[in-house]
């Protein structure tokens, strides 16, 4: 009987590992479906639609992500990190105007690729606390970069950080451009915005 115990324990562990692998697979499929739908359609996507795309039941989605906000935050964790990296790299540039231009160009490119992320990032919804905190931190960093760019003579003297917010909000309209032309439209839009902000 005692000799059976290690074998039973191993068999039980295999069952637990298979369950864990299945749960991980479900979670990955849910996140992939959410990223795809949110990027294309924005925050209006429902949890049931995500479940259908992931080919799991709604209960599975809610078990992994109890609220839509939790799902959105998990789906956009990579984009939040990318957004922060863009801003931090711009701020690290010794030529503040060059760094500022790079931020405008790269954020515009990110904007056009992922409507849902921009909607979440710019949302005033108090439930979107993770995005609110990131936005506050990043706008603070960008305010410092803009001040340096203004002092160095590249940025127009009447610039305020809300001007950059307006540029990002206006860039959301690029999602209506046919997908094959969006990257070129984003480049052109960023170039026009930079010219408008130049001293």
Kindly report, residue by residue over 98-132, the tens digit of the pLDDT.
999 999 999 999 888 887 787 777 776 655 677 88
pLDDT in tens, 127-145: 567 788 888 999 999 999 9
Burial-class residue 98 by CB neighbours within 10 Å (0-12, 13-18, 19+).
middle
Q: Is the pLDDT assigned to residue 54 strictly greater than 50?
A: yes
Q: Is the pLDDT assigned to residue 1 strictly greater than 70?
A: no
Q: Which long-range contacts (CB under 8 A, 24 or more apart) does 120-129 make?
A: 120/38, 120/43, 120/72, 120/76, 121/76, 121/80, 121/83, 122/165, 122/168, 122/169, 122/172, 123/43, 127/69, 128/69, 128/72
* The predicted structure's pLDDT at residue 43: 79
Q: Is the pLDDT assigned to residue 192 strictly greater than 50?
A: yes
Q: How many CB atoms lie within 10 A of CB 88?
A: 14
Asked if 29 and 55 touch (Cβ cutoff 8 Å), the reply is yes
Kindly list the structural domains of the chain, giving each domain's residue range(s) and its CATH number in brackets, ordered by start.
Answer: 4-67 (1.10.357.10), 77-197 (1.10.357.10)
């Amino acid at each position: 009987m005692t000799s059976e115990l290690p074998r039973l324990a191993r068999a039980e562990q295999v069952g637990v590992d298979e369950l864990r692998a299945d749960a991980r697979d479900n979670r990955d499929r849910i996140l992939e479906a959410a990223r795809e739908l949110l990027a294309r359609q924005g925050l209006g996507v429902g949890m049931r639609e995500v479940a259908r795309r992931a080919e799991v039941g709604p209960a599975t989605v809610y078990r992994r992500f109890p609220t839509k906000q939790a799902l959105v935050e998990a789906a956009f964790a990579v984009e939040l990190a990318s957004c922060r990296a863009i801003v931090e790299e711009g701020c690290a540039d010794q030529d503040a105007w060059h760094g500022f231009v790079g931020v405008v160009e790269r954020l515009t490119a990110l904007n056009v690729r992922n409507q849902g992320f921009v909607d979440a990032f710019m949302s005033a919804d108090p439930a979107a606390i993770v995005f609110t905190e990131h936005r506050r931190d990043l706008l603070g960093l960008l305010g410092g970069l803009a001040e340096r760019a203004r002092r160095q003579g590249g940025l127009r003297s009447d610039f305020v950080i809300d001007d950059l917010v307006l540029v990002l909000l206006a860039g959301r309209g690029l999602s209506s451009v046919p997908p094959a032309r969006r990257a070129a439209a984003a480049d052109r839009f960023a170039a026009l915005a930079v010219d408008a902000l130049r001293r």
